[in-house]
Chains A and B, each alone.
Chain A
Amino acid sequence: MSLNRRDFIKLTVSASALASLSGCAGGAIKSAAAKPRVVVVGGGYAGATVAKYLRIWSDGGIEVVVVEPNPYFISCPLSNLVLGGSKQLDELSFSYDALKQHHGIRWLQDTVTAVDPVKKKVTLKRGDITYDKLVIAPGIDFIYDQLPQLQTDAAQQQILHAWKAGPQTVGLYRQLHDMRPGGVFVMSVPKAPYRCPPGPYERVCQVAFYLRQHNPTAKIIVLDANPDIVSKKDLFLKVWSGMYPGMVDYRPNSSVVELDVAQKRVTTEFEQVGADVLNVIPPQRAGQVAQMLGVANVDQRWCEVDFISYQSAVLADVHIVGDAVSAGLPKSAHMATSQARVCAAAMVAGFEQTDPDPAPVFANTCYSFVSDRMAMHVAHVYRYDAAKKIMLPADGGGVSAAPSELEGSYAHDWARNIWSDVLT
């Protein structure tokens, strides 16, 4: 164990956390005296899951350090319910303490400023840390190239995305709440791929659910850059016409090309649309650390990986999981955790000098709430296709026949169980 390698950690991790770590057995990892160290950048669904399962499956034989700037976890899944008024953001906000303590994960609340993949060193605002393997789970960043009017902080405070759950979610709820009677809520959807394929359409349902009760003459205009509803199309159309009749005006092939922040007016290739509340969900790419490392090699947006190990196609010993990955896979929380476990298992196998599973299989279940109580699913099992070297949906997957309260109840069970799995 090299002392200088650990100095920074010793300075920043509490004494009690270190004491609990010292009790860990070496486990099955056959290596030199020092445990291999994996640094995980990002503590969202993907990053927290990689960290937990690396510790469990290596029997404590891998030292895991998570770097996450946020002091606590806020769930994107269910955050549209905050707009509908049936959830508070506090109910979706959790401490990392149980995860850290149960699994002896070292945790640095800090921000990555640089990575040197040759020296295997991550530079943080408050120091450096070396790694044997690096996992990045950076989530998404927004691309403002096409919307220069939104590039300033001031503009971003007025025209909210609310596409990362947090203060923006509450801010958009307030704008909705304060909207004049009979006002127009305009939401723009970016071209796929983006985080959470059915998310924008679920948001339309939640905004409609709120307006139906509090502002029934208000309207919602959806400007979708895609040629059609990206996910659960028929179900959403039925919900909009059946549960919220006359409220939702859906316009496909409508990319926002210009935007007037002060006037809350957007221009598409076809028309100008004025709004009382304007919610622009900008185009997205892999989070900043991926851009910093140069591993976002697909359209300079997403990260190409090997689906057996989630190792970057660009850099050795750098693995990428979650929404940042380029795949024909939905960018969902369950998917992020499934990818994270395949990555963790392959990494443990690598340190143990055994072969990884040559054909991983995992499931994805994604619920969308159409009111405070009713939800509907899309669910598939995904299997590795050895010829194409990608994950493909297996037969038997699909969507609900109709939204129901029973599925709403299962959706809440899904949330509670995934929070428990990821964060305890």
Chain B
Amino acid sequence: MRRVHIILSAASLALLASGAVWADSDVGGSAGQVRTQGPVDSASQRQHIRVLAASCAACHGTNGNSVGGTPVLAGLHPEHFSSQMQAFKSGQRASTVMHRHARGLTDSEIVQLAEYFYKQPRHASALPPAAKPGSGKP
């Protein structure tokens, strides 16, 4: 968990420690769904998290910069992200749809998504421009 060192709070150091344990073993996940995952710092694992994080963009915007309505995930404190996802997963926090996503992820993926989004710069996202009138019928 090379990139966790930027987190300085004591609580996050605990997260670091537990994260390191997950990183050393194959990630089993709550339902034992993940059969093989390389070391957390491998290029393919970074790709795994980057693609998974990008899958959140449909509701939370590119790199977690929501255009509105849903929470901005970019720059969110990783501890907060992880605790909320775990609360969705357990049902402790009520949700319409987030529990479905949280329950499909491994604990390690949640920790790594938290790190990923924490590192994303916040910026204003925008809707695409409207199609120009008179630009032709498709």
Q: Considering the chains assembled together, what is the distance between the CA atoms of A385 and B130 in angstroms?
A: 40
B125: A residues at CB distance < 8 A: 417, 420, 424
A406 at interface by CB-CB < 8 Å: yes
Known: A94-B130, A357-B44, A410-B96. A166 touches B31 (CB 8 A): no
Q: Pick the contact of A338: B44, B55, B59 (CB < 8 A).
A: B55
> Is B138 a contact of A70 with CB atoms below 8 Å?
yes
> Is A383 a contact of B68 with CB atoms below 8 Å?
no
- Chain A's nearest CB lies how many Å from the CB of B38? 8
Chain B 81-104 near chain A by CB (<8 Å), digits 1 or 0: 000000001000000110111111
- Chain A's nearest CB lies how many Å from the CB of B70? 5
- Chain A's nearest CB lies how many Å from the CB of B66? 6
Q: Considering the chains assembled together, what is the distance between the CA atoms of A294 and B36 in angstroms?
A: 34
A115 at interface by CB-CB < 8 Å: no
A336-358 CB contacts (< 8 Å) to partner B: 337-338, 341-342, 345, 349, 354-358
> Is B100 a contact of A396 with CB atoms below 8 Å?
yes
> Is A381 a contact of B44 with CB atoms below 8 Å?
no
Most buried by A among B34, B51, B109, B137: B51
B18 at interface by CB-CB < 8 Å: no
B78 at interface by CB-CB < 8 Å: no
Known: A72-B131, A95-B128, A394-B103. A345 touches B96 (CB 8 A): no
Closest to B56 in A: A363
A277 at interface by CB-CB < 8 Å: no
Q: Considering the chains assembled together, what is the distance between the CA atoms of A362 and B52 in angstroms?
A: 5
For the complex, count residues of A whose C-beta is within 8 A of B.
Answer: 70
Closest to A416 in B: B67
> Is A354 a contact of B43 with CB atoms below 8 Å?
yes
B10-65 CB contacts (< 8 Å) to partner A: 30-31, 33-38, 43-45, 47-48, 50-52, 54-62
A95: B residues at CB distance < 8 A: 128-132, 135
> Is A409 a contact of B69 with CB atoms below 8 Å?
yes
A374-424 CB contacts (< 8 Å) to partner B: 377, 379-383, 385-387, 393-398, 400, 404, 406-407, 409-410, 412-414, 416-424
B102: A residues at CB distance < 8 A: 396
> Is A396 a contact of B99 with CB atoms below 8 Å?
yes
> Is B128 a contact of A381 with CB atoms below 8 Å?
no
Closest to A387 in B: B35
A74 at interface by CB-CB < 8 Å: yes
Q: Pick the contact of A397: B38, B50, B100 (CB < 8 A).
A: B100
Closest to A423 in B: B128
A406: B residues at CB distance < 8 A: 96
- Chain B's nearest CB lies how many Å from the CB of A220? 28
Known: A94-B128, A417-B67. A380 touches B34 (CB 8 A): no
> Is B47 a contact of A357 with CB atoms below 8 Å?
yes
A417: B residues at CB distance < 8 A: 57-61, 66-67, 69-70, 125
A316 at interface by CB-CB < 8 Å: no
Closest to A99 in B: B128
Most buried by B among A355, A393, A396, A417: A417
Q: Considering the chains assembled together, what is the distance between the CA atoms of A395 and B89 in angstroms?
A: 11
Q: Report whether over half of chain B's contact residues are helix, strand or loop; otherwise say mixed.
A: loop
A98 at interface by CB-CB < 8 Å: yes
Chain A 360-382 near chain B by CB (<8 Å), digits 1 or 0: 11110100000000000101111
Q: Considering the chains assembled together, what is the distance between the CA atoms of A46 and B97 in angstroms?
A: 23
A252 at interface by CB-CB < 8 Å: no
> Is A416 a contact of B33 with CB atoms below 8 Å?
no
> Is A362 a contact of B51 with CB atoms below 8 Å?
yes
B128: A residues at CB distance < 8 A: 73, 94-96, 98-99, 419-420, 422-424
Known: A95-B128, A421-B61. A380 touches B100 (CB 8 A): yes
> Is A394 a contact of B31 with CB atoms below 8 Å?
yes
- Chain B's nearest CB lies how many Å from the CB of A88? 11
Q: Considering the chains assembled together, what is the distance between the CA atoms of A355 and B42 in angstroms?
A: 10
- Chain A's nearest CB lies how many Å from the CB of B106? 9
Q: Considering the chains assembled together, what is the distance between the CA atoms of A419 and B67 in angstroms?
A: 10
> Is B59 a contact of A355 with CB atoms below 8 Å?
no
Chain A 80-101 near chain B by CB (<8 Å), digits 1 or 0: 0000000000100111111100
> Is A412 a contact of B109 with CB atoms below 8 Å?
no
B67: A residues at CB distance < 8 A: 416-417, 420
A90: B residues at CB distance < 8 A: 130-131
The 4 closest A-B pairs by CB, nearest first: A381-B104, A396-B103, A413-B69, A423-B128
Interface of A with B (CB < 8 Å)?
A: 53, 57, 69-74, 90, 93-99, 166-167, 333-334, 337-338, 341-342, 345, 349, 354-363, 365, 377, 379-383, 385-387, 393-398, 400, 404, 406-407, 409-410, 412-414, 416-424
13 contacts between A and B (CB under 8 A): A72-B131, A73-B128, A342-B51, A359-B35, A381-B103, A385-B35, A394-B103, A396-B104, A397-B104, A410-B96, A413-B69, A421-B57, A424-B62
A72-B138, A420-B128 are known; give 14 further A-B pairs, CB within 8 A. Answer: A69-B138, A358-B36, A363-B101, A377-B96, A380-B104, A381-B105, A383-B33, A383-B34, A386-B36, A395-B103, A413-B59, A413-B66, A416-B127, A417-B70
